[in-house]
Protein backbone atom coordinates (compact mmCIF):
# COMPACT_ATOMS: atom_id res chain seq x y z
CA UNK A 1 0.00 0.00 0.00
CA UNK A 2 1.36 3.42 -0.92
CA UNK A 3 2.00 6.10 1.68
CA UNK A 4 -1.02 8.05 0.39
CA UNK A 5 -3.26 4.97 0.61
CA UNK A 6 -2.05 4.30 4.15
CA UNK A 7 -2.83 7.88 5.19
CA UNK A 8 -6.26 7.76 3.50
CA UNK A 9 -7.10 4.45 5.19
CA UNK A 10 -6.03 5.88 8.55
CA UNK A 11 -8.12 9.05 8.05
CA UNK A 12 -11.31 7.20 7.09
CA UNK A 13 -10.83 4.69 9.93
CA UNK A 14 -10.25 7.31 12.62
CA UNK A 15 -13.18 9.58 11.63
CA UNK A 16 -16.86 8.64 11.29
CA UNK A 17 -17.46 11.02 8.37
CA UNK A 18 -14.73 12.29 6.03
CA UNK A 19 -15.02 14.54 3.00
CA UNK A 20 -12.07 14.62 0.61
CA UNK A 21 -12.56 17.96 -1.11
CA UNK A 22 -10.95 20.87 -2.92
CA UNK A 23 -10.47 23.46 -0.20
CA UNK A 24 -11.87 23.23 3.34
CA UNK A 25 -15.35 23.05 4.80
CA UNK A 26 -15.00 26.72 5.75
CA UNK A 27 -13.64 27.72 2.32
CA UNK A 28 -14.39 25.25 -0.49
CA UNK A 29 -12.38 25.82 -3.68
CA UNK A 30 -14.81 24.33 -6.21
CA UNK A 31 -18.54 24.25 -6.74
CA UNK A 32 -18.94 20.51 -6.27
CA UNK A 33 -16.96 20.50 -3.02
CA UNK A 34 -18.94 23.55 -1.91
CA UNK A 35 -22.26 21.80 -2.57
CA UNK A 36 -21.40 18.67 -0.56
CA UNK A 37 -19.78 20.63 2.29
CA UNK A 38 -22.83 22.91 2.29
CA UNK A 39 -25.18 19.95 2.72
CA UNK A 40 -23.07 18.44 5.53
CA UNK A 41 -22.65 21.81 7.26
CA UNK A 42 -26.36 22.61 7.00
CA UNK A 43 -27.32 19.19 8.35
CA UNK A 44 -24.99 19.72 11.31
CA UNK A 45 -22.76 16.73 10.53
CA UNK A 46 -19.54 16.50 12.53
CA UNK A 47 -17.08 15.61 9.79
CA UNK A 48 -13.40 15.77 8.96
CA UNK A 49 -12.40 17.59 5.79
CA UNK A 50 -9.28 16.76 3.80
CA UNK A 51 -8.08 19.44 1.37
CA UNK A 52 -6.72 17.53 -1.63
CA UNK A 53 -5.29 20.77 -3.07
CA UNK A 54 -2.85 20.89 -0.17
CA UNK A 55 -1.44 17.41 -0.85
CA UNK A 56 -0.81 16.15 -4.39
CA UNK A 57 -0.24 12.56 -3.15
CA UNK A 58 -3.66 12.48 -1.50
CA UNK A 59 -5.27 14.22 -4.50
CA UNK A 60 -4.07 11.47 -6.85
CA UNK A 61 -4.22 8.71 -4.23
CA UNK A 62 -7.88 9.16 -3.26
CA UNK A 63 -8.98 8.54 -6.86
CA UNK A 64 -7.07 5.25 -6.93
CA UNK A 65 -8.16 4.34 -3.40
CA UNK A 66 -11.88 4.63 -4.15
CA UNK A 67 -11.62 3.84 -7.86
CA UNK A 68 -13.68 7.02 -8.36
CA UNK A 69 -12.40 9.69 -10.80
CA UNK A 70 -13.72 12.88 -9.20
CA UNK A 71 -13.50 14.96 -6.04
CA UNK A 72 -15.25 15.52 -3.63
CA UNK A 73 -15.58 12.05 -2.12
CA UNK A 74 -17.58 11.28 1.01
CA UNK A 75 -16.79 8.40 3.37
CA UNK A 76 -19.01 7.28 6.25
CA UNK A 77 -17.61 4.80 8.77
CA UNK A 78 -14.75 3.89 6.42
CA UNK A 79 -17.02 3.19 3.44
CA UNK A 80 -16.99 5.23 0.23
CA UNK A 81 -20.43 6.78 -0.31
CA UNK A 82 -19.95 8.83 -3.47
CA UNK A 83 -19.31 12.21 -5.05
CA UNK A 84 -21.36 15.34 -5.53
CA UNK A 85 -24.14 13.94 -7.75
CA UNK A 86 -24.64 10.84 -5.59
CA UNK A 87 -24.67 12.84 -2.33
CA UNK A 88 -27.14 15.33 -3.86
CA UNK A 89 -29.45 12.48 -4.97
CA UNK A 90 -29.14 10.73 -1.59
CA UNK A 91 -29.93 13.96 0.26
CA UNK A 92 -33.05 14.61 -1.82
CA UNK A 93 -34.30 11.00 -1.61
CA UNK A 94 -33.70 10.69 2.15
CA UNK A 95 -31.13 7.92 1.65
CA UNK A 96 -28.42 10.06 3.26
CA UNK A 97 -30.55 10.38 6.43
CA UNK A 98 -30.91 6.60 6.50
CA UNK A 99 -27.18 6.08 6.01
CA UNK A 100 -26.38 8.44 8.91
CA UNK A 101 -29.03 6.80 11.12
CA UNK A 102 -27.77 3.28 10.38
CA UNK A 103 -24.21 4.34 11.22
CA UNK A 104 -25.06 6.29 14.37
CA UNK A 105 -24.02 9.65 12.89
CA UNK A 106 -25.89 12.57 14.45
CA UNK A 107 -27.52 15.02 12.06
CA UNK A 108 -30.26 17.64 12.05
CA UNK A 109 -33.35 15.91 10.61
CA UNK A 110 -35.22 19.23 10.38
CA UNK A 111 -32.41 20.72 8.25
CA UNK A 112 -32.43 17.65 6.00
CA UNK A 113 -36.20 18.02 5.55
CA UNK A 114 -35.75 21.72 4.70
CA UNK A 115 -33.25 20.84 1.94
CA UNK A 116 -35.80 18.44 0.46
CA UNK A 117 -38.63 21.00 0.73
CA UNK A 118 -36.53 23.66 -1.01
CA UNK A 119 -35.64 21.28 -3.84
CA UNK A 120 -38.90 19.37 -4.08
Residues making up the annotated binding site for [2Fe-2S] cluster are: 30
Binding-site residues from annotation: 30
Closest CA to 90 of 27, 45, 26, 49: 45
User: Could you give the C-alpha distances from 101 to 41, 60, 94, in angstroms and in order?
Assistant: 17, 31, 11
Amino acid sequence: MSDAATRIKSTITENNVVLFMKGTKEMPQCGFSSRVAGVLNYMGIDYSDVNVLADEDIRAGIKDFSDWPTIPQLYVKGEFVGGCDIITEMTLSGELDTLFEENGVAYNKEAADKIREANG
